[in-house]
């Protein structure tokens, strides 16, 4: 299960069943906060990518293993952050959809699909 899947599923379930309606101004405000968070995720993803290439651990085998372990953790972190970003964009889209701002939601859907690429 990816990060945020449960919350996203619950939100979309409420939107699709008509149980959740939001006024457009509120939806834009909430979606804007999600967008800002997704942008922050981009910065964290970039930092995680840089951590994959750490050096300076020395040449002995235990140091190499430690270095590989940290690099693996950086890759895992990047994957989790991509999942978080995708969930964030999906939540923004759900809010806009609940407010019946479909044009804005459609452009977000394209951004969410683009965000879910493996690195």
60 φ/ψ angles, rounded to the nearest 5 degrees: -75, 155
End-to-end CA distance of the chain: 18
Model confidence at 118, pLDDT cuts 50, 70, 90, reads very low
- For the chain, domain boundaries: 25-115
Burial of 12 (0-12, 13-18, 19+ CB in 10 A): middle
Task: Return d(Cα 119, Cα 112) in angstroms, integer.
Answer: 15
Mind listing the pLDDT tens digit for each residue in 21-75?
Answer: 899 999 989 988 998 899 899 999 999 998 888 878 788 999 889 888 989 999 9
Rounded average pLDDT over 87-114: 79
What's the whole-model pTM score?
0.75
């Amino acid at each position: 299960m990816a990060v945020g899947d449960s919350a996203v599923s619950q939100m979309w379930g409420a939107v699709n069943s008509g149980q959740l309606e939001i006024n457009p101004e509120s939806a834009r405000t909430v979606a804007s906060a999600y967008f800002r968070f997704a942008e922050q995720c981009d910065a964290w993803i970039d930092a995680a990518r840089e951590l994959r290439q750490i050096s300076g651990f020395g040449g002995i085998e235990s140091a190499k293993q430690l270095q590989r372990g940290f690099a693996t953790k950086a890759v895992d972190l990047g994957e989790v952050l991509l999942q978080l970003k995708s969930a964030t964009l999906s939540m923004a889209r759900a809010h806009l959809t609940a407010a019946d701002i479909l044009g804005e939601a459609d452009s977000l859907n394209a951004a969410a699909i683009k965000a879910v690429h493996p690195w």
